[in-house]
Structure 1
Amino acid sequence: MTDVLIIILSTVFVLSVVVTIHELGHYWAARACGVAIDCFSLGFGPPLVSWRDKHGVEWRIASIPLGGYVRFLGDENAASVPDQDNLEAMRASIVAREGQGAESRYFHFKPVWQRAIIAVAGPVSNFVLAILIMAVFLVMIGTPRSTPVVTSVERGSAAEAAGFRPGDTILKADSRKIESFQTLQNYIGLRANLAVDFTVKRDGREVHLRATPRLIETTDRFSGRTKVSRLGIGNAGMTHLKRSTVLGAVPDATVEVWGMIKTIGFYLGRLVTGQLPADQISGLIGIGHTAGAVTKASAEGAPNVATMALRVFVSSMLLIASLSVSIGFMNLLPIPVLDGGHLLMYAYEAVAKRPLRADFQAAGFRAGLALILGFMLFAAWNDLNRYDVFKFIGGLFT
C-alpha cells in the first residue's frame, strides 16, 4: 500500500509541475499578445478549488490531476477549435454583443504569427524549465564523468566479436568524439542493431573496429522489464563530478537539453521505421513506476529526514527535467490537438492567406484525438506487460 501511495504522489507531483509550466507558457504568451483568457485549469474534471483574479481569469485545481489546459475567451473547448465555421459570423456576433473592436481580444482574430507564438510557447516553456533545472544541477552537483577506457569485455558480446580489448581507450564512435564513458553509453544506448565504427587507442596507435550493439532484455527497478542496447564492455575507472561555472551553466545546460531533444527524435525515428520494437513505448503507468522508483531509491539509506528530503527533491527535479523535454518534444509533433498540429494549420493559413476549412479542421482534430488515445492505450498495454500485471492477475485464478 505504501508503494502504491508513493507512486501516486510522485506521479501527480512530477506531472503537475511539467503540465503547469507548459500551460503557463501558453498563458503568458496569450497575455502578452492581448488575448482574453477565460480559464486556467490544472487537471481535468470538476474543480476542487477555483477563484477569479483581477483579469477575470478563472483559476482551477480540478479533480483529475493528470493534465491541464488554458481556455481562451470564446472557446468551446480547450483545444482552441473555432466556435463557428464562419469566423465572420463569429466576429459580427462579438461586435453586436460587446461593441466595435471587441473581437481583437479573442484568440481566433489575432494575427497568425501571434497565434503561432502562443502555440509554441508551451513546449518552449518545457525546454526552458529543463535548462534551468539542469543549470542548477550542473553548478551545485555536476555530472559523473569517467575516462572512456575499456577495463573488461564480456564473453560472447558484440564487443568481443569486434575485437575490443581491456586497456583500449575509445576515441570516437562513428564521427562522434567520445570524451567520457558516459558519452559512449548514451551513444550506444540508441544504436541497437546498428553497426558503429569505433576508433580506439591501443598501445600508442589508433585501431579501427566495427561493432553492432545488441538489444538485450533486462530488468531494473526504474524501468521494469525492458530492452537495452548493449556493447559488452565495462569501465571501472575513477568517476568524478564535472561541474559548470555559474556563467557557463546555462550554455552547458542548453547543450544537455539539445542533446536530449536529438536523442528523443532519433529514438522516435527508429521506432516509427520499425528498427526498434514498439513494445518499448511507455506511457503514464511507466512514468508513475519510474517516479515512484526514483523517490524510493533516493530516500533509501538517508541518515536523517532532511537529507532524505533533499535527495528526493533533487532526483525528482531531474526526472521533471527529462519528462519536460519529452513532453515539449511530443507536443511539437504535427498532430492535430497537439501544439504542433496547431502550428501546421497556422502555416497553411499563412501560405494560403485563409484558415483551413472548419470541417477539415474538425476532421483533423478527431483523427488526431483518436491517434493520441490509441497511442495512450497501446503504451498502457506495454506498461502492464512490462510490469507483469497480467501475469499477476492470472496468478490469482490459478
Structure 2
Amino acid sequence: MTHPLDLNQLAQHIKQWGQSLGFQQVGICDTDLSAEEPKLQAWLDKQYHGEMEWMARHGMLRARPHELLPGTLRVISVRMNYLPAKAAFASTLNNPQLGYVSRYALGRDYHKLLRQRLKKLGEQIQQYCGELNFRPFVDSAPIMERPLAAKAGIGWVGKHSLILNREAGSWFFLGELLIDLPLPVDRPQEEQCGRCVACITTCPTGAIVEPYTVDARRCISYLTIELEGAIPEEFRPLMGNRIYGCDDCQLICPWNRFSQLTDEADFSPRAALHAPQLIDLFAWSEEKFLRITEGSAIRRIGHLRWLRNIAVALGNAPYQEEVITALRTRQGQNELLDEHIEWALQQQLARRAEHRVEVQSPQKKRLIRAVEKGLPRDA
C-alpha cells in the first residue's frame, strides 16, 4: 500500500462498494453486544428456542462476534431487499385452497448469494488496504445479526424482533462482514414503533409473547421450518394455508408501506411455489420436490416435513371430496405424516357433515313454512 490509510474515507468507499454489489444499505459498528447477553440468557432460560438446541449450545458466543474471528474490531452490516413484485399476499392467504410460502423463500436461497457478495466486498477492502482479515456471515455462525444491524444504523429492532427501517420496512435480508480495522462506526436509529402493537395482536398463534420477545415454539415459521416432529394440535387450525414460514407480523406493520421491491432476479418467485394449489403440492413425489426446490431455502426441510405442512393446510381447507381422496392416498407411508393426515381427515369429514346439513336446511325451512301456513308439504 503506497497511500496512508484514511479510515473515514475507507468507510465511505466500503458503503459505495457495497451498494455496487447490490446491497441497499451498509452500516458499521463495534463488536460490543454485552447488553444483549442477559436478554439472550433469559430467552434461553424460558426455553423459547424450542428444539433449536444450537441456540443454547453456542450460548453467549452469539453475543461475542470478536470470538468468532480473533482480532475483529468492526462488523460491517448489510441489508438486501427481497420483496418481489406481484407478491400476491392477500390473494394467496385469502384462498385456503392455495399454499402460502413466506415471500423470502419464493426464489433462490439467499444464503449463498449474500455470502458471495460479502466475500467480494471483503476482497475489495483487502485489495485497497493491502492486508486485512475478514470473514462473511449469513446465518452461517452463531452471531446476533439483528442487534448488530441495529448498532450499525441499518434500522431498529421492532416489537416482532425483526429489523425495521423507515425507508424500507422489513422485507430485506441481513449479512455481516467481520474485519480487523478500527473503522468509524455509524449511529443507531431511534426506535419508531411507538405505541403500535399490530404485530403482536395479529400473530395467528400469539408467538410474540411480549414486545421484542418471540416464543419460537408458537411461531408458524418455527413450526413449519425448524420443528422436526409433530406440529402441536393446538396450533394446526391457526396455521391456515401457511406451509412454509409466515409473514403476518410484517404484513400488518405500518412501516412496510415504505418497503422497496427487489431488483435481484434470483429472488423472483418460482412459478411452482407462487400461489400453488395445495392438492397439487401434496401429490409431488420426493424427486419432484427436490427438483423444484433445488437452490431454494425450502429444500432444507425435506419432502416429509413439506408433506406434513401441506396436510395441515388441507385440513384447514374448505370441504372437498378431492381433498379427502388426496389425503387418503398418502396414508400408511410414514407415521409422522399419518398423524397429520388423520387430523386433516377429521377436519374435512366434520366439514362434510356440516355441508350436508347446510344443503338440507333450505328444504327444512320450506317445510316449516309450509306446515305453519297449512299448505301441502310438496308446495
Give the TM-score, by structure 2 length.
0.23
Q: Which has the higher strand share?
A: 1
Give the TM-score, by structure 1 length.
0.22
